[in-house]
Structures are given as structure tokens and as C-alpha cells.
Amino acid sequence: KAGVTQTPRYLIKTRGQQVTLSCSPISGHRSVSWYQQTPGQGLQFLFEYFSETQRNKGNFPGRFSGRQFSNSRSEMNVSTLELGDSALYLCASSFDSNQPQHFGDGTRLSIL
Amino acid sequence: AQSVAQPEDQVNVAEGNPLTVKCTYSVSGNPYLFWYVQYPNRGLQFLLKYITGDNLVKGSYGFEAEFNKSQTSFHLKKPSALVSDSALYFCAVRVFNTGFQKLVFGTGTRLLVSP
């Protein structure tokens, strides 16, 4: 069974641009969550999608948004990029709330 | 607020010795606890979970964790460390609220196993 796939693995952008990150969950998993990992703040929850609906959002500005498609694939968008958005963005999927989340290898976003 | 704490930034152990990575939690209700490991330039790999049942949970790669309700702890252990166990370890608690879920992570503990 293929794991969680995130594309691209690395991305370099400049301030003010926008970016879209993609996540393909494990087949059959309907819950997809996004996390931001930085050396200073650690791992922080961004949002969770389940069956195309955003169930919860973390404490991030409105520049961070996402969506989930009918095949459970998810995208995350960040607009008007700031230097502080440089981070490893991790996607995780699970079958349901009682099962552990499985993580992709992340997208490392660098803002110049 | 539900949280986990990992009091040690780094744990050093010699290969072949037992290792312990500490985690304490603060939750309302029954805790759903997890351990994940992260290798350089990789995502998090699931090691083990505690939801209910036996206090000693066995996981991947020979790791186990002991759930202690009175001490609100969930320490990760391994009887004999390997150099390849060197990595960043995260304790996490699952938070539920009206249908959604999220993981709240500790700050991570770097494990360094020396040959």
C-alpha cells in the first residue's frame, strides 16, 4: 500500500508570492490533516479535512487555506508569502479518528 | 488545554544500553497518546499508540511505552538501543472536539545513540 505522498518535496518562493502544496493520502483514508514544522514553533496544526469538509482550523492567518477533493486528495494554499512561512509542511492521513495518522515526507518551503 | 511535555531536548545513550524518552501529558478525559519518530529530511513515522487497555504498549522497531495514569506519563522505552535509533522523537496527544481531531505534539527529544 502506498504511503502518503506530498508534492513537491522542495519549493523556493519569494515574499508576496503564493504557493500550492499537494497531498495524496493513503488509499481509503478520508481524513487529511496539515501541520507546519519549524525549529522555533515545533509542530503546529493547520487544519483537518474529512470528506471534503474542513472540520477544524488551527491558529493561522487567513492566508493559509486548503481544500479536499472527492478522491480525498488535499491541497494547501498560502498566499502573500512571508519570510516566516519558511517551514516543513506535513500532511497526515487516517482512516478514522481511532486510527493513527500517517505522515508524508513533507514539502520544505523556503521563502527568499 | 490539552498538551504534552517532553522535558529533555536530548537524550544520550550508548549502543546496547536501555533508553527512555520521557513524556508527560495534560488532558481532560481519557488520553489518546502517540509516539512518532522523525529521521532527517523525512516525515513522522508512527511508533505506537495508547488508547485503552494494557498500560504497556508495544510498538515498532522494538520500542514500547508505559502509560501511567497517576503520574500522567507515557515514557518511550527500548531495552537495547541501536545507533540507527538516533532520531527526533515526538510524543503527541489526540484532541477531539465535536467531530474534529488534531494531534498536539510535544517539542521533541533528540536521541543520540553512540557506538
Average pLDDT over residues B57-78: 95
Inter-chain residue contact A92 with B90, CB threshold 8 Å:
no
Residues of chain A neighbouring B45 (CB-CB closer than 8 A):
103
User: Taking the CB of residue A8, how many other CB atoms lie within 10 A of it?
Assistant: 11
The beta strand positions in B1-115, using DSSP E, are 3-5, 10-14, 19-21, 24-26, 33-38, 44-50, 56-58, 64-68, 73-78, 87-97, 100-105, 109-114
Residues 6 or more apart whose Cβ sits within 8 Å of residue A83? A15, A111
Distance from CA of B48 to the nearest CA of A (A): 9
Average pLDDT of chain B to the nearest whole number: 92
Look at residues A6, A26, A24 and name the one whose alpha carbon lies nearest to residue A109.
A6
The predicted structure's pLDDT at residue A1: 67
Look at residue B14 and tell me whether its pLDDT is greater than 80.
yes
What is the per-residue pLDDT across B24-56, written as a single tens digit (0 to 9) for each? 999 888 888 999 999 988 899 999 999 888 899
Task: Estimate the share of chain A in helix, then strand, then coil, as percent rounded to the nearest 5.
Answer: 5, 55, 45
Inter-chain residue contact B103 with A92, CB threshold 8 Å:
yes
Look at residues B62, B66, B113 and name the one whose alpha carbon lies nearest to residue B87.
B113
Residues of chain A neighbouring B36 (CB-CB closer than 8 A):
103
Look at residue B94 and tell me whether its pLDDT is greater than 90.
no
User: Taking the CB of residue A98, how many other CB atoms lie within 10 A of it?
Assistant: 11
Inter-chain residue contact A90 with B44, CB threshold 8 Å:
yes
User: Taking the CB of residue B82, how many other CB atoms lie within 10 A of it?
Assistant: 14
The predicted structure's pLDDT at residue B95: 78
Residues 6 or more apart whose Cβ sits within 8 Å of residue A25? A4, A31, A32, A72, A73, A74, A91, A93
Q: What are phi and psi of A84, to 5 degrees?
A: -70, -10
B61 vs A: CB within 8 A = no
Average pLDDT over residues B55-82: 95
Chain A residue at shortest CA distance from B38 = A105
**What CA–CA distances, in Å, run from A81 to A27, A37, A42, A88, B94?**
31, 16, 19, 14, 30
The predicted structure's pLDDT at residue B54: 87
The predicted structure's pLDDT at residue A99: 80
Distance CA B30, CA B93 (A): 10
The predicted structure's pLDDT at residue A84: 95
Inter-chain residue contact B107 with A55, CB threshold 8 Å:
no
One pLDDT digit (tens) per residue for chain A, 112 residues: 689 999 999 999 999 999 999 999 999 999 999 999 999 889 999 999 998 999 888 999 999 999 999 999 999 999 999 999 999 999 999 987 668 899 999 999 999 9
The predicted structure's pLDDT at residue A87: 97
Distance from CA of A88 to the nearest CA of B (A): 9
